[in-house]
Chain A
Amino acid sequence: MPALGLGPLMLLMGLVLGPGASLTAQAPPASESRELLVLAASSLSDVLPAIASAWEGQGGRPVRFSFDATSRLAPQAVAGAQADVFVSADAQWVHWLEDRAATRGAARAVAKNELVVVVPRGSTGPSQAGDLERFGRVALAGENVPAGRYARAALASSGVWDNLRDRVISGGSVRSVLEWVARGEVPVGVVYRTDAVAEPAVTVAFAFDEDTHPPIDYWAVPLAASPDAEAARAFVNFMTGSEAARLFLAARFSLPAAPTLQTMSARAEVPEATLPSVGSAVRLSLLIAFAATLIGLVPAVGLGWLLARRDFRGKALVSTAVLAPLVMPPVVTGFLLLSVLGTQAPLGRVLSSLGLPVPFTILGATIAALIVGLPLYVLSARGAFEAVDPLYEELSWTLGVPPRQTFFRISLPLALPGVAAGAILAFARALGEFGATVVVAGNIEGSTRTIALAVYTLLESPSGRETTWVLVGASVALSLGALLGFEMLSRRQRRRMEDDRGR
């Protein structure tokens, strides 16, 4: 696909990933005081700022960073982000940029990382790849994130990939792998050494031999879009200098043997990645959204009625707790859910002993979708109950019908269109759910990889753009269809309430 064709897709990605992703789209015009903008792999987010302040200490331009997965940064660089330098965790994405004439000059290797197996602190880990099978599940970063690809390559060349393939829990990033292992949700995980040493709750069990996977080199390259090529090249050079080397070593990186990209081997050999299937993603999304909507009906109606009609102590607290997922970042919601429902948490332990484990299952995805959708559900139901004139309920009582029956004969039927509208909103929200799902349920093809997760996975992959469009289309159609239904039902609710008022 030509570079230009990525424009709309990148815009879409900006929408999907939130403002952080498109932060780099506008850069100040070139001038003497201009900062350098460096797009860099997330795993460098601790060490690069230290290197930048050393650089600034020697009179270099101030440096600003945008840290993200390499796979998300590279398309941004092509899409016209006015960035100066790109630091990749992966040579492939540098090639990808070179193919699109987005770089200026040679890439230089600046540091090197190691791939290690981690276990929860205090537990006994495997001492070599052959032992991994005994540990049940293995957490890896996503197959399109460099760390995930290296891990798969290492397992493949150690001869254990075929046995482990079905037990892999795929996370989005190295960070989520660390989180799962730290909590004991997954007994072992494969991450970079630098990330492992930064997480106190895990221990390194062993490191993979360097020859089992493509070299994990960080490559820095000046970008063609840079308004100041000279400064960009100077900063790349500084990252390969002795001061930077000292800081890289202090952060447990090692130094690369190959100074330039020419000596790098051809494209890395990585086991075939499972590309997301459209059918499975759409089916899963619908199934999870329907299940969440159905399970949420009784709590939403109950809470909506309670908040609309009753005054009780702690009402503000209940209301706040229910609405919290609306304003909290979904990843935070997912993190909290994992803390409550993880197999190591008390409630989660009960559930898994009942044969209902939550993490990495469709149940987990459904619960995540339910919790993030519930605020809209409850708000809508509450509004519908509030719109029912209490006089109808009071009249029903005086006609000899006690409150419980009055609820089913008067309140609920009158509020029904509003409740249904809430159900549709919750359904639509569940369809779009991403952040909490990826934390609680992972990104597992055929089991928790919904449309949102499939699109996310595909966006990080240099291949599969066509599939992305199909899924994007499906997602847009389903969401807009749901919202249209919501609009129609809200109108009906308003009409129903106006009906008998025109005296």
Chain B
Amino acid sequence: MVGDRFGGWTMDVTLPLSARDLRLTLRTGSSRVGIVGPSGAGKSTLLRVLAGVERRALGRLVVDSEVWLDSEAGISLPPWERKVGWVPQEPSLFPHLTVLENLAYSGSPLDRVREVAARLEVEVLLDRRPRRLSGGERQRVALGRALLSAPRLLLLDEPFSALDRPLRVKLAREVRSWSTEHEVPLVLVSHDEEDTENLADERWHLVEGVLELSPSHQPRGSDSPT
């Protein structure tokens, strides 16, 4: 079980934004966290803080007992050392590279790339450029690229938004079993409660800049597929 190894994470971060400051405070021991909230609440920003690409973040972030950010101590682990598998809401495949080159970007060996491509059902697309993929295909390739980077934490931003329902459930199951197999904890943000149902063990709500543990959340057996 993932939770046995993963030490959880705590976040107490403030972002000075022009309209109002965004304060993200969260403490969890769970290895599969879902965060639900309306658009514009700051869900994507939260992932950017975790990924280390949000330079304005002030405060403290500890992941699996490693300090990733401590602005008072002047610590900020750069993104290339955090090794998170980030799948932004916009799939953002590198447009000048083929699907294969996108998947292998972080240096994975070819057989691993083919294996992941097969699991995500994008194997026939390996030679294509991103512009010739559908929205759903892009999301799957972006997910594969993140999984192949051997991430210590997977960050998923509305990962299934461009998929129809059957594929959405199937893919959620795939990610879940991957997470278990490789002991990779994940954080998923979505405006859709169902996505988090399928994937997360613990659900938080982000409303008007405040993060709250969902009262309705029910811990689930992390090993059994949905």
Contacts and interface: CB of A to CB of B under 8 A. Distances in A.
A500 B95 contact: yes
Contact of A499 (B78, B106, B130): B130
Between A396, A398, A502, the greatest number of chain B beta carbons within 10 A of the residue's beta carbon is seen for A398
A410 B80 CA distance: 15
Interface stretch (B83-91, B114-122, B198-206): B83-91
A305 B217 CA distance: 47
B162 interface: yes
A289 interface: no
B149 A399 contact: yes
Given A502-B131, A503-B135, A400 B149 contact: yes
Contact of A500 (B85, B88, B93, B105): B93
Contacts of A500: 92-93, 95, 130-131, 138
B79 interface: yes
A395 B83 CA distance: 11
Interface in A410-443: 410, 413-414
Given A499-B95, A499-B130, A500-B131, A397 B88 contact: no
Interface string B1-12: 000000000000
A229 to B, nearest CB: 72
A391 interface: yes
Contacts of B91: 503
Given A399-B149, A503-B135, A392 B82 contact: no
A415 to B, nearest CB: 10
Contacts of B138: 500, 503
B176 interface: no
A394 B53 contact: yes
B78 A397 contact: yes
Between A391, A394, A399, A402, the greatest number of chain B beta carbons within 10 A of the residue's beta carbon is seen for A399
A499 B130 CA distance: 8
Majority SS at the chain B contact face: loop
Contacts of B93: 500
Nearest to B145: A399
A399 B131 contact: no
Interface in A385-407: 389, 391-392, 394-403
Given A396-B105, A397-B53, A413 B96 contact: yes
B168 interface: no
Interface string A120-145: 00000000000000000000000000
Contacts of B86: 395, 398
Contacts, number: 73
A416 to B, nearest CB: 9
A496 B96 CA distance: 8
Contact of B53 (A389, A398, A497): A398
A410 B97 CA distance: 9
Contacts of A496: 95-96
B61 to A, nearest CB: 15
Contacts of A410: 94
Interface string A467-503: 0000000000000000000000000000011011011
A389 B92 CA distance: 9
Between B51, B53, B78, the greatest number of chain A beta carbons within 10 A of the residue's beta carbon is seen for B53
A392 B102 CA distance: 11
Contacts of B173: none
A394 B55 CA distance: 11
B42 interface: no
Between B85, B92, B93, the greatest number of chain A beta carbons within 10 A of the residue's beta carbon is seen for B92
Nearest to B95: A500
A401 B105 contact: yes
B92 A398 contact: no
Given A396-B105, A499-B131, A402 B94 contact: no
A485 to B, nearest CB: 20
A43 B94 CA distance: 64
Given A395-B88, A499-B129, A500-B130, A401 B80 contact: yes
B82 A398 contact: yes
Nearest to A402: B80
A394 B88 CA distance: 10
A413 B94 CA distance: 10
Given A400-B106, A413-B96, A499-B131, 11 more contacts: A389-B92, A399-B106, A399-B145, A401-B105, A403-B80, A409-B105, A414-B95, A497-B95, A500-B92, A503-B90, A503-B91
Interface of B: 48, 51-53, 78-80, 82-86, 88, 90-96, 105-107, 129-131, 135, 138, 145-146, 149, 162
21 contacts: A394-B53, A395-B88, A396-B94, A396-B105, A397-B79, A397-B80, A398-B84, A398-B86, A399-B80, A399-B106, A399-B145, A399-B149, A409-B105, A499-B95, A499-B129, A500-B92, A500-B95, A500-B138, A503-B91, A503-B135, A503-B138
